[in-house]
């Protein structure tokens, strides 16, 4: 038992977690306006789908120059916590499972799914709050959307629990659990491409190589899971009236199916991918920069501390 705990709670996993959190926060800050455009297109059904620059120009014209960065602080707090948990779980579970064995795409996928489930259950309340704050004060084309007036992160937590109940903090958990496939697929492709580039030669990848394989991995994962991401955003926003079932799981499942069918009925199959251009632009660039910073921060930290990285973490 103590050996298992020693494999999970390691300095190496902590370095990976801190590097991942720092890389993601920096990358998201750089490309945050693109995420604002994506979120507006997902939750505001009556906003016409346009190019990302056109959507951002509309937001700035109607709401001010700083509007694309509305909700930056709660998003960064959520992202920092979320990526710390994910990177820590991914690398600690990988160390405990592989024990010197060679990593494979199927093992990376399974480890990524397990890390994703833990991450979703721990951090969903943070993402629900940041979605509300990010959309607060936005000018919607959809008149059915009710404005909120939270004063900050703590007030949003208290307000949601008081008005909607504590379980409202886990709105969108089911699509989020289904969406653990997104980072799992992303890490599987990223780790697989990294192994291919290093085949026969143990070396550090160049900055360009890391950036490109990070971009490819995220592009594939995002395109495959985008319809569920749209449903997730709508449920987190809390404006969708969910079916009242005794079973919360059944209620969540009915909500997901209803939202997908409703989107197809109103906007056609392409409606499921409304905002995908903005999402791909944001998420691919953010993930590519995040992986680049993560690799450099982790590598530098190990080098400075004189700690040798285990083979499976490379």
Q: What is the pLDDT of residues 272-295, one digit of tens each?
A: 787 787 778 888 999 999 999 999
Q: What is the value of pTM for the model shown?
A: 0.73
Which carries the bigger pLDDT value, residue 100 or residue 287? 287
Which carries the bigger pLDDT value, residue 109 or residue 99? 109
Evaluate if residue 93 carries a pLDDT over 80.
yes
The CA distance from 137 to 295, in Å, is: 37
Predicted local distance difference test score (pLDDT) of residue 143: 64
Query: In this structure, what are the phi and psi dihedrals at residue 61, rounded to the nearest 5 degrees?
Result: -65, -40
Predicted local distance difference test score (pLDDT) of residue 289: 93
Closest CA to 285 of 24, 29, 31: 31
Percent of the chain with pLDDT over 90: 25
Predicted local distance difference test score (pLDDT) of residue 80: 93
Distance, C-alpha 89 to centroid of its chain: 15
Evaluate if residue 48 carries a pLDDT over 60.
yes
Region 228-232 average pLDDT: 79
Evaluate if residue 1 carries a pLDDT over 70.
no
* Cβ-contact 21, 87 below 8 angstroms: yes
What is the number of H-type helices and E-type strands within the chain? 12, 0
Scanning 136-206, the segments in alpha helix (DSSP H) are 153-164, 173-178, 181-197
How many Cα atoms occupy the beta-carbon half-sphere of 53 within 13 Å? 0
**Number of other residues whose CB lies within 10 A of the CB of residue 285:** 18
Predicted local distance difference test score (pLDDT) of residue 311: 53
Which tokens is 203 given?
């070396």
């Amino acid at each position: 038992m103590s050996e298992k705990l020693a494999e999970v709670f390691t300095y190496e996993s902590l370095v990976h977690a801190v590097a991942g959190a720092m890389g993601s926060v920096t990358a998201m800050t750089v490309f945050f306006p693109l995420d604002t455009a994506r979120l507006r297109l997902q939750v505001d059904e009556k906003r016409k789908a346009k190019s990302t620059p056109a959507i951002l120009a509309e937001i700035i014209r109607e709401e001010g120059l700083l509007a694309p960065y509305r909700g930056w602080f709660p998003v960064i707090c959520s992202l920092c916590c979320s990526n710390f948990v994910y990177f820590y779980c991914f690398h600690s579970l990988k160390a405990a499972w592989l024990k010197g064995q060679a990593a494979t795409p199927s093992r990376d996928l399974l480890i990524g799914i397990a890390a994703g489930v833990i991450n979703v259950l721990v951090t969903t309340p943070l993402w629900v709050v940041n979605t509300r704050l990010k959309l607060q004060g936005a000018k919607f084309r959809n008149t059915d959307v009710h404005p909120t007036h939270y004063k900050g992160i703590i007030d949003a937590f208290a307000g949601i629990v008081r008005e909607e109940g504590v379980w409202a903090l886990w709105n969108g958990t089911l699509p989020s659990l289904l969406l653990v496939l997104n980072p799992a697929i992303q890490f599987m492709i990223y780790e697989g491409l990294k192994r291919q580039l290093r085949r026969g030669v143990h070396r550090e990848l160049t900055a360009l190589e890391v950036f490109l394989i990070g971009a490819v991995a995220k592009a594939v994962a995002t395109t495959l899971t985008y319809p569920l991401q749209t449903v997730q955003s709508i449920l987190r926003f809390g404006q969708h009236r969910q079916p009242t079932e005794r079973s919360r799981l059944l209620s969540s499942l009915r909500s997901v199916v209803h939202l997908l069918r409703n989107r197809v009925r109103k906007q056609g199959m392409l409606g499921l991918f409304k905002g995908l251009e903005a999402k791909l632009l944001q998420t691919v660039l953010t993930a590519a920069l995040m992986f680049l910073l993560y690799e450099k921060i982790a590598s530098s930290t190990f080098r400075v501390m004189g700690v040798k990285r285990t083979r499976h973490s490379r």
